[in-house]
Structure 1
Amino acid sequence: MGGFSYKDIYIEDGRRVLEVNILPEKHCNFDCIFCPIGRSQNKVDTQKSFDRIDSSLIELESMIENTKAELIFINSKGEALVNEKIIDVIHIIKGKGLPVKLLSNGYILNWPEFKEIANMCEEVIGEIKVISNEDFQKIQRPIGGYTFENHILNMKAFREQYNGKFILEVTILKGYNDDEESIQKIKNIIKEISPDKVIIARLEEERFKKKLGIMDERFEEISTALLNI
């Protein structure tokens, strides 16, 4: 199984964005209970090869040209960094004179073999979704040995040496990080990582909203508190 997939072009900050998934199926170092893609049958934190990569790279070049994209957003089914050809993907994009935005869950960003790749991108997004190791293990279900503390330290260390725009996406989950004590902890984490931009998100899929979704009014309160640190 192989091949890239794409979302329709959209406009963000005045630029035409082409969003590409470079994983044929989910490969991630987490197995979050609320992941819209489903369970992680392939829980990995090392790079691997995929079929049809040569034809996928050719297709990527054509997509960039045909869509007149101005920014390429690598947003994949899991952790894009585990595709061993991600450097080739970035080189193709750079060869077209375009900037690259990369979404990562953030845990492996500062690992030497992945840091060099992420440093090639103009924008990198890391994520937090909980505020304790207990919840990290319970609902994000990382590879054994991962801790929440290392998750934060890895993003902090990456941010300190990164010359591009580092974006931290914080997902608010009902019952896990939506109370005042949790909001204060998130504030402290944001200050520790010191991102260039913060995005506050919530779960939008209907199947997760009832249990983990945040009501509009509370979401606005939290967003205001976290975006005005």
Structure 2
Amino acid sequence: MSESGQDCLSHGYTKGEKKVMSGFSYKDIYMEDGRRVLEINVLPEKYCNFDCIFCPIGRSKNKVDTKMSFDEIDSSLIELGNRIESTKAELVFINSKGEALVNDKIGDIIDFIKDKGLPVRLLSNGYLLGRDEYMKIANKCDEVVGEIKIITEEGFQKVQRPIEGYTLAEYISNMVSFNKQYKGKFIFEITIIKGYNDDEESIEKIKNIIKAISPDKIIVARMEDEKFKKKLGINDERFEEISSTLLNI
């Protein structure tokens, strides 16, 4: 049974970001459901397997779905430990510039946070969750966020511009297979986009996707970035109508 939720996760890692010398970057601590959340980006710049036209970070210069090696993370982990202590964080949310799973040290980062006794939430677009090597990493986390935006194959290729060979069917299937074996809390975020998935036929398709994935929590979001809001944002009335429909499946 899905838990209803309309609290929108922060995507794109653009607002409130705090740069640090270590290579990680952070947002100011904030409260969510009574917990102090520390949000962290573990990528030096955008590395993603998609290149969405509406991404608030901009174009994907580094379009990858294999593990990438960055600088040594010893100093970054020291800084992270200090942040956890100084902010009295109660949850660490890994929300990166792109797909955090491509950082080859992501498993070590998660282990470090878990060793501090804190739960970890990981944001992934969800495409890589069906692959064994990434599934094992995501399984370390207490919460995993997957997402969907475009729900037609043509639109997926044109608008989200994934790595060649990706398909929408596999995208959905990967999240389905991941959640079937996942022991933590799977959060499924659906972004409603004007002209792409806000019609009744699309809402029915999204309902079927939700039923197939069977998430623990659903979040319905919409375009909030000012660059895309005018063209791709939907009005309050329609958003509330869609949200009510999807959150009460």
Contact 1:72–1:100 (8 Å) recurs in 2: yes
Residue 87 of structure 1 and its aligned partner are, at CA, apart by 1.1
Residue 2 of structure 1 and its aligned partner are, at CA, apart by 7.0
Structure 1 counterpart SS, 2:47: coil
Cα RMSD (Å) of the superposition?
1.0
Match 1:15 to one of 27, 31, 35:
35
Amino acid at match of 1:68: K
**Residues 1:26 and 2:46 are matched in the alignment:** yes
Residue 92 of structure 1 and its aligned partner are, at CA, apart by 1.1
Match 1:142 to one of 155, 159, 162:
162
**Residues 1:94 and 2:103 are matched in the alignment:** no
Amino acid at match of 1:78: G
Query: For residue 178 of structure 1, what is the aligned residue in structure 2?
Result: 198
Contact 2:156–2:168 (8 Å) recurs in 1: yes
Q: Name stretches of at least 5 consecutive residues in structure 2 with no aligned partner.
A: 1-20
Change (3 A) 1:132 1:2: farther
Query: For residue 165 of structure 1, what is the aligned residue in structure 2?
Result: 185
Residue 53 of structure 1 and its aligned partner are, at CA, apart by 2.2
Q: Which has the higher contact order (CA 8 A, sep 6+)?
A: 2
Residue 54 of structure 1 and its aligned partner are, at CA, apart by 2.1
Query: For residue 130 of structure 2, what is the aligned residue in structure 1?
Result: 110
Structure 1 counterpart SS, 2:128: coil
Query: For residue 10 of structure 2, what is the aligned residue in structure 1?
Result: none
Match 2:173 to one of 133, 136, 153:
153
Contact 1:2–1:50 (8 Å) recurs in 2: no
Contact 1:152–1:189 (8 Å) recurs in 2: yes
Contact 2:23–2:44 (8 Å) recurs in 1: yes
**Deviation string for 1:198-224 (max 9, x for gaps)?**
000011011101111111111000000
**Deviation string for 1:77-132 (max 9, x for gaps)?**
00000001111111110111000000000000120110000000000000000111
**Deviation string for 1:174-217 (max 9, x for gaps)?**
00000011101100110011000000001101110111111111
- Of the structure 1 ranges 51-60 and 213-222, higher mean CA displacement relative to structure 2 is found in 51-60
- Taking structure 2 as the reference length, the TM-score comes to 0.90
Q: Deviation above 4 Å: which 4+ runs of structure 1?
A: none
Query: For residue 191 of structure 1, what is the aligned residue in structure 2?
Result: 211
**Deviation string for 1:155-187 (max 9, x for gaps)?**
000000000000100000000000011101100
Structure 2 counterpart SS, 1:64: helix
Structure 2 counterpart SS, 1:109: helix
Query: For residue 4 of structure 2, what is the aligned residue in structure 1?
Result: none
Amino acid at match of 1:194: S
Instruction: Give the number of aligned pairs.
Output: 229
Structure 1 counterpart SS, 2:130: coil
- Taking structure 1 as the reference length, the TM-score comes to 0.98
Query: For residue 98 of structure 2, what is the aligned residue in structure 1?
Result: 78
Contact 1:172–1:178 (8 Å) recurs in 2: yes
Query: For residue 206 of structure 1, what is the aligned residue in structure 2?
Result: 226
Q: Distance in 1 between matches of 2:71 and 2:224?
A: 32
Residue 50 of structure 1 and its aligned partner are, at CA, apart by 1.0
